[in-house]
């Protein structure tokens, strides 16, 4: 699927860099172009493709802190400039646009939904969000920001592929090592998904194409992407259980959104050397996905690649009713209520202080 990426904010820029680099290293050519947009000039310095600093008149290149309302406002004010830069990148061959952002911060959290809205109005190709949920150990502000951003982005984009920062956390890692590992994980999954839609060689009729990705995401709302790989036997017949167990791992332990298994639609892509792909294994795995997601819309396809391993990618569309998403939204709502209470208490304390019987000195 020929895609143009727009990274908004710090996480958006880093993730877009990881995605574009993976696509280039693998020689896939699915990522056709990329742009990074930010209000903080320092965060744009390490981005190896074109960048755009917005909101200079408001924040002078210093970023918006955690203020996602300001992030949204700045994107709205500078939207024409961003759309012009993107207009030079989006062409007749573009099949999708991904707006990439960390949902818990300020610039990406506020800016991504505003940009997705405008892109959806202007272009006919699907506009997807690639959004990162803050880890559960991040503060209340991050949870509230992410809840509000996710709600809006899911409404404005054709679908939001959601990544949980808790999904691949390894103990003992520093924050930046942790992010690096997560970004690599995301780049591999999303990179393979986009590239799968581009494959033209191999067993023609069972190869995935972009329309299957688009149809799986047609339900809208929130999507997740799972991945796992296993060394394969040389004979296809010996790989039946390799394919079924790899698919199970992709969905149950390798998902970008752990525990989200109820879905409206799914796409199972099995990647590997065509000689090693067992049709029976692929069909069994597809049936298993059908049972697990309780969806009647489970598509399947191959992605021929030259590797001694077999890999499964499981794209789930319409997972917003899953426990994980519901739990996150409840947490975000609670954090918002607590913040409102703290605000109220502070206002009351302020009032009491001001109304005190004591006279001021002057």
12 is known to lie in a ligand binding site: yes
Beta bridge partners of 314: 226, 268
Minimal distance in Å, beta carbon 9 to ligand GDP? 2
Cβ neighbours for 247, distance < 8 A, ≥ 6 positions apart: 228, 268, 270, 285, 288, 289, 312, 314
By CB under 6 A, the residues from 144 to 203 that bind ligand GDP are 165, 179, 182-183
**What are the residues facing 267 on neighbouring strands?**
299, 315
The least distance separating ligand GDP from the CB of residue 60, rounded to whole angstroms, comes to 15
Contacts of 74 by beta carbon, 8 Å cutoff, 6+ apart: 39, 54, 55, 58, 59, 64, 107, 110, 111
Binding mask 1-20 for ligand GDP (x = CB under 6 A): --------xxx--xx-----
Q: What is the DSSP annotation of 112-142? A: HHHHHHHHHHH-SS-EEEEEEEPPTTS-HHH
29 is in an annotated binding site: no
The Cα 41–Cα 275 span in angstroms is 50
Considering beta carbons, is residue 11 or 325 the nearer one to ligand GDP? 11
Residue 314 binds to ligand GDP (criterion: CB under 6 A): no
- The annotation status of 14 as a binding-site residue, yes or no, is yes
Q: Measured on CA atoms in the order 55, 86, 18, 232, is the torsion positive or negative?
A: positive
Q: Give whichever of 186 and 313 is closer to ligand GDP, judged by the CB atom.
A: 186
List 3, 96, 99, 105, residue binding ligand GDP (CB under 6 A): 105
Site mask for ligand GDP (CB under 6 A), range 224-253, x = bound? ------------------------------
Residue 182 or 236: which CB sits closer to ligand GDP?
182
Q: DSSP letters along 162-192, please?
A: EEETTTT--TT--HHHHHHHHHHHHHHHHHH
Tell me whether residue 95 is annotated as binding: no
Of 30, 44, 132, 150, the residue at the interface with ligand GDP (CB under 6 A) is 132
HSE-up of residue 317 (Cα within 13 Å, Cβ side): 21
Find the binder of ligand GDP among 7, 55, 104, 113 (CB under 6 A).
104
Beta carbon of residue 182, minimum distance to ligand GDP (angstroms, whole number): 4
**Contact status: 221 vs ligand GDP (CB under 6 A):** no
Distance CA 43, CA 61 (A): 10
70 vs 285, beta carbon nearer ligand GDP: 70
User: Shortest approach of ligand GDP to residue 292 CB, angstroms?
Assistant: 26
- Shortest spacing between CB 97 and ligand GDP, in angstroms: 18
Considering only CA atoms, which of 18, 8, 143 is closest in space to residue 63?
8
Backbone angles phi, psi at 239, to 5 degrees: -105, 10
Q: How far apart are CA 162 and CA 325, in angstroms?
A: 10
Contact residues: ligand GDP, CB under 6 A: 9-11, 14-15, 102, 104-109, 132, 134-135, 138, 142, 165, 179, 182-183
Where is the binding site for GTP, in residues?
10-14, 106-108, 138, 165, 183
């Amino acid at each position: 699927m020929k895609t143009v990426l727009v990274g908004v904010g710090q996480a958006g820029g880093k993730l877009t860099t990881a995605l574009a680099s993976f696509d280039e290293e693998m020689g896939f050519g699915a990522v056709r172009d990329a742009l990074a947009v930010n209000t903080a000039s320092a965060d744009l310095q390490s981005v190896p493709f074109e960048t755009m600093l917005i909101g200079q008149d408001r924040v002078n290149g210093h970023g918006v802190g955690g203020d996602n309302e300001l992030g949204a406002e700045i994107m709205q004010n500078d939207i024409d400039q961003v759309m012009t830069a993107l207009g030079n990148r989006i062409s007749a061959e573009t099949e999708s646009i991904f707006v990439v952002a960390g949902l818990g911060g300020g610039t990406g959290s506020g800016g991504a939904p505003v940009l997705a809205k405008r892109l959806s109005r202007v272009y006919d190709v699907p506009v997807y969000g690639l959004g990162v949920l803050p880890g559960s150990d991040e503060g209340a502000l991050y949870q509230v920001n992410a809840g509000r951003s996710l709600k809006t982005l899911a409404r404005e984009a054709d679908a939001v592929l959601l990544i949980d920062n808790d999904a691949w956390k390894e103990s003992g890692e520093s924050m930046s090592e942790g992010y690096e590992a997560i970004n690599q994980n995301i780049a591999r999954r999303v990179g393979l998904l986009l590239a799968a839609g581009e494959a033209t060689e191999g067993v023609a009729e069972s190869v995935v194409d972009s329309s299957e990705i688009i149809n799986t995401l047609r339900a809208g709302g929130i999507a997740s992407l799972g991945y796992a790989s296993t060394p394969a036997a040389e004979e296809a017949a010996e790989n039946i259980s390799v394919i079924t167990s790899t698919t199970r791992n992709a969905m149950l332990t390798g998902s970008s959104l752990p525990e989200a298994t109820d879905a409206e639609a799914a796409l199972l892509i099995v990647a590997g050397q065509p000689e090693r792909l067992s049709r029976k294994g692929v069909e069994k795995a597809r049936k298993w996905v059908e049972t697990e997601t309780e969806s009647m819309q489970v598509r399947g396809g191959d992605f021929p690649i030259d590797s001694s391993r077999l890999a499964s990618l499981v794209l789930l569309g319409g997972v917003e009713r899953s426990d994980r998403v519901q739990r996150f939204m409840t947490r975000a709502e609670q954090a918002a209520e607590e913040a409102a209470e703290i605000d109220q208490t502070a206002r009351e304390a302020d009032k009491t202080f001001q109304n005190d019987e004591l006279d001021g000195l002057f």
